């Protein structure tokens, strides 16, 4: 039942190895190829050059280590989290859940402002980053949710609020189901399992995702092991796989910090969790989709450039919907794209669901 302090300390040999591998990247032969076929090789080369030269892992390691961190052994694996206590001892605990291909790095711009008001618990999901690789399969969102809830309780919090996006929405939904008596409120920026067919615009966007943007999803849902050596052995390949998601899922007007994107990819590289994080897609395909928890007050933030815009009526039928926000800008990674708006939204939501 212990929780131990933790610091990120990547060996210098691993940092040097990354640079050497990037310098030796074997690039594809240039071809004239019309149409959209994935992230352009030229763009990946630009990011790789930056990763290998001006970008500095130690700077980002120090930024992460500036926040207190913990690890705990839960359900046979190590679970890591940033744990930042507010100066206010009576502050509400707020759990922030990332998805794929995100990590705790995703939240760096919002941690300082949110810690002014909340005790923050920011887990690396099991199989991701410093919570991985997991030693076994079966890590469905529900199993991850039970591990997250266990960690939060070990840290001494009886009641808490949860925010999640991408797979963090899945896990957050399941935290509300498995630990609903402790969850004061659930806030999400994605609504997995909700029918969008009644909204023509939402249905069209979701159809385009399935037709043009979900190749990674199909592969990781069916043959994740076939991809594992590439994600572990080639940093340029891992970067292309991750950077494509940021290129296609964000607001074109968003000013994504390239160095933060590279730090996020580096977390997957140094921890060798590209393969284990991909397994969540396979697990989802082979497990029933849970229902939402109707007894937990729920808030939804809809971003115009996210993968799907759920109909409000569908969410009203699925949850106790107490908050609905439609942003005018932003996409799939709000903590990186619109950190100021996300901080304001979470402050407002927590006030709404707490006494």
Over the stretch 75-105, which tens digit does the pLDDT of each residue have? 999 999 999 999 999 999 999 999 999 999 9
The token duo for 301 is 């933030």
Q: Identify the bridge partners of residue 320 per DSSP, sorted by sequence position.
A: 297
CA-based nearest residue to 79, from 130, 121, 119, 122: 130
Segments forming the whole domain that contains residue 292: 11-18+38-353
CB atoms within 10 A of CB 316: 13
Asked if residue 184 is part of any domain, the answer here is: yes
pLDDT of 336 higher than 80? yes
Q: What is the mean pLDDT of the chain?
A: 96
Check residue 144 and give its pLDDT: 98
Asked if residue 221 is part of any domain, the answer here is: yes
CB atoms within 10 A of CB 202: 19
Q: Which tens digit of pLDDT belongs to each residue from 196-240? A: 888 888 888 889 999 999 999 999 999 999 999 999 999 999 999
Q: Kindly list the catalytic residues.
A: 166, 281, 332
Tell me how far apart the alpha carbons of residues 32 and 239 are, in angstroms, rounded to a whole number.
Answer: 22
Check residue 201 and give its pLDDT: 84
At residue 265's C-alpha, the angle toward residues 109 and 138, to 5°, is: 100
Asked if residue 32 is part of any domain, the answer here is: no
Asked if residue 320 is part of any domain, the answer here is: yes
Asked if residue 27 is part of any domain, the answer here is: no
Residue with tokens 């969790």: 273
Asked if residue 6 is part of any domain, the answer here is: no
* CATH assignment at residue 55: 3.40.50.1820
Number of domains in the chain: 1
Q: Which tens digit of pLDDT belongs to each residue from 261-281? A: 999 999 999 999 999 999 999
Asked if residue 5 is part of any domain, the answer here is: no
Asked if residue 276 is part of any domain, the answer here is: yes
SS3 content of the chain, % helix, strand, coil (to 5): 50, 15, 35
């Amino acid at each position: 039942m212990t929780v131990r302090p933790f610091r990120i300390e990547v060996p210098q040999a691993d940092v040097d190895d990354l640079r050497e591998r990037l310098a030796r990247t074997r690039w594809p032969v240039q071809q004239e190829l019309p149409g959209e076929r994935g992230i352009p090789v030229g763009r990946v080369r630009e990011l790789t050059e930056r990763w290998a030269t001006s970008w500095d892992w130690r700077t980002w390691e120090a930024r992460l280590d500036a926040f207190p961190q913990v690890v705990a052994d839960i359900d046979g694996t190590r679970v890591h989290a940033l744990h930042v206590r507010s100066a206010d001892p009576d502050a509400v605990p707020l759990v922030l859940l990332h998805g794929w291909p995100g990590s705790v790095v995703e939240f760096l711009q919002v941690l300082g402002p949110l810690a002014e008001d909340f005790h923050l618990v920011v887990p690396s999901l099991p199989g991701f980053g410093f919570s991985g690789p997991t030693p076994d399969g079966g890590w469905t969102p529900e199993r991850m949710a039970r591990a997250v809830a266990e960690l939060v309780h070990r840290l001494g919090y009886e009641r808490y609020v949860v925010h999640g996006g991408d797979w963090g929405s899945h896990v957050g939904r399941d935290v509300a189901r498995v630990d609903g008596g402790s969850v004061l409120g659930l806030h999400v920026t994605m609504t997995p399992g909700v029918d969008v067919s009644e909204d023509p615009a939402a249905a069209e966007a979701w159809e385009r995702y399935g037709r043009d943007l979900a190749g990674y999803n199909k592969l990781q849902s069916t043959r994740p092991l076939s991809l594992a050596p590439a994600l572990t052995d080639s940093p340029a390949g891992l970067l292309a796989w991750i950077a494509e998601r940021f290129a296609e899922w964000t607001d074109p007007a968003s000013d994504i910090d390239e160095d933060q994107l590279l730090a996020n990819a580096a977390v997957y590289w140094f921890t060798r969790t590209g393969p284990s994080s991909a397994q969540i897609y396979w697990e989802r395909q082979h497990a029933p989709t849970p229902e939402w928890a109707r007894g937990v007050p729920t808030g939804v933030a809809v971003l115009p450039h996210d993968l799907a815009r759920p109909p409000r009526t569908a969410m009203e039928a699925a949850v106790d919907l107490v908050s609905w926000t439609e942003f005018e800008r932003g996409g799939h990674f709000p903590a990186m794209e619109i950190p100021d708006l996300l901080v304001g939204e979470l402050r407002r939501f927590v006030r709404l669901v707490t006494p």
